[in-house]
A = this chain, B = another copy of it.
Amino acid sequence: MSENMERGRRPVTAHDVARLAGVSQSAVSRTFTKGASVSPDTRRKVEEAAASLGYRPNLVARSLITRRSNLIGVAIPGMANPFYARVLESLSAAFEQLGYRILLFSMANNEDSDPVLEEILRYQVDGLVLVSASLSSRFAEECRTIGLPVVLFNRTNGSTSVSSVTSDNITGSRTIARFLLAGGHERLAFVAGKQSSSTNRDREAGFNAYLQEQGRPLPLREVGDYTFDGAITATRRLLAQDAPPDAIFCANDLMALAAINVCHELRMQPGRDVSIVGFDDLPQGQWPIFGLTTFEQPLAEMIGRAVNIICAQLADPGTSAIQEIVPGRMIVRQTARLPASGIVEVDGERIWQP
């Protein structure tokens, strides 16, 4: 109780505890290792000694032995988009539940991610979640070699050799196209996200595919880069045209909120003067002032799948890669004119089911 009070003292180790408790270091280790064999008597002695010295097991040393760090590396783009903030929070909560901690890596905007990954791997993380980032085939191979579970979140890779979890972007955007046509819109526009992202590719493809199937022309198109400011500019351009669109599908909610802001500037009312639809279902979109009509990305479900994939691979490194595509729902609020039919209410949300 007294000798550990000086500043900068050498940290208390299992040996110190063992000495004080009159047992071996192994005994100390075993009392702190769940499932090990210790008699109630020694356990008590050890725990008392540990408490009196303020002993705390050194997880770094433990990791070196067990080859498990209990860390999950998470690479995530900036948190300017609230969607990513939610992803991180949910991931953190889910993994903490399982006894894992999050080692955070911010990916400065979609630069090459390889150097960052190189760094991550040195930390001996037990698993890796790449949010909206891609994985070079070299690293995919590398991770498989060392048996490191990896999952791409909200992004797919070309190859099927790496696991991924996405929402059903194609069906979602097809549904949006169908919803807008059913609502009697004539002149559609699409505000694209980052051109390099798989989500944008899929959302644009699904949207355009449905329009073409219905013999409609392709939508007007601007690029908002998945950012608020980008979408402000894009929407202004769209609405300043001689023949402006009567409906705008923004490839994510953040951009849709920007579009609503532009409407506000122009004294236009979303849902009456022009329809705005997003993709994500952010909490902000539910705010009364926005009331955003959007296609849901079921975050909780997606997180659950991602965690399961990691756990499965952790339990058996031989588990093969899997591409999960989680279906979502069309959430109807006030920013888009409604179709004549198909609106149902499901646990507090209005859903469109064609």
Q: Are A123 and B101 in contact (CB under 8 A)?
A: yes
Q: What residues on B are CB-neighbors of A93 within 8 Å? A: 106, 108
| Contact pattern, A 120-140, Cβ under 8 Å of B = 1, otherwise 0 | 011110000000000000000
Q: What residues on B are CB-neighbors of A144 within 8 Å? A: 7
| CB within 8 Å for A145 and B9 given contacts A92-B106, A289-B289 | yes
| CB within 8 Å for A106 and B124 given contacts A4-B145, A289-B264, A289-B289 | no
Q: Tell me if A142 counts as interface (CB < 8 A to partner B).
A: yes
- A residues 261-291 near B (Cβ < 8 Å) are 261-262, 264-265, 283-284, 287-289
Q: Are B58 and A122 in contact (CB under 8 A)?
A: yes
In whole angstroms, how far apart are the Cα atoms of A287 and B57 in the complex?
49
The number of chain A residues touching the other chain, given as a range, is 35 or more
Q: Are A124 and B58 in contact (CB under 8 A)?
A: yes
Q: Are A104 and B106 in contact (CB under 8 A)?
A: no
Q: How close is A162's CB to chain B, nearest CB, in angstroms?
A: 14
In whole angstroms, how far apart are the Cα atoms of A121 and B55 in the complex?
11
Residues of A whose CB lies within 8 Å of any CB of B are: 4-9, 11, 54, 56-61, 63-64, 69, 71, 78-80, 82, 85-86, 88-89, 92-93, 96, 101-106, 108, 118, 121-124, 142, 144-147, 228, 257-258, 260-262, 264-265, 283-284, 287-289, 317-318
Q: List 14 A-B contacts (CB under 8 A).
A: A4-B145, A8-B146, A11-B146, A58-B122, A58-B124, A59-B124, A60-B60, A60-B124, A82-B82, A88-B104, A93-B106, A101-B104, A102-B103, A258-B287
